[in-house]
Amino acid sequence: MGKTEQVSGAERDKGHFIAHSIGGAVVGGENNVFLQRRDLNRGWSDAGKIFRKMEANAQANPGALIFHRAIYVKESTTPDFLEVGLCIPGATLQVEVFDNRD
């Protein structure tokens, strides 16, 4: 994919479908990455804070299940929305849809 800023500008990061903080591939894991809004990926926006909190909760709760579904509205290699679900044993399923459009 190359350096993200050279490919897609300063508003995008290489997001990981499975965060490297919870075991997702980083090196050689190009099939684990997608272009993601930087404010969402880094937790700078309100939605980004929720996104990062879900990742942190998955990491803090062994046995938790976190899943991502890329939603494409137009023909593109960049998902327009990300549906993220988190199921912690003994807790309620949390599902959020995050806007990944420009």
**Extents of the domains making up the chain:** 4-99
CA 20 vs CA 14, 39, 58, 79: distances in Å: 12, 18, 12, 19
pLDDT for 1 equals 47
In this predicted structure, the answer to whether residue 52 has a pLDDT above a threshold of 90 is: yes
- Distance, in Å, from the CA atom of 96 to the CA atom of 53, rounded to the nearest integer, reads 12
Q: How far apart are CA 81 and CA 25, in angstroms?
A: 22
Record the pTM.
Answer: 0.84
**pLDDT of 29 above 60:** no
**How far is the CA of 9 from the CAs of 4, 13, 39, 95, in angstroms?**
7, 9, 13, 29
Take residue 97 and report the two structure tokens written for it.
């849809």
Q: Which residues make Cβ contacts (< 8 Å) with residue 31, sequence separation at least 6?
A: 25
Q: Specify the residue for token string 């050689």.
A: 28
Average pLDDT, the chain: 86
- pLDDT band per the 50, 70, 90 thresholds, residue 13: confident
Over residues 53-67, the mean pLDDT reads: 93
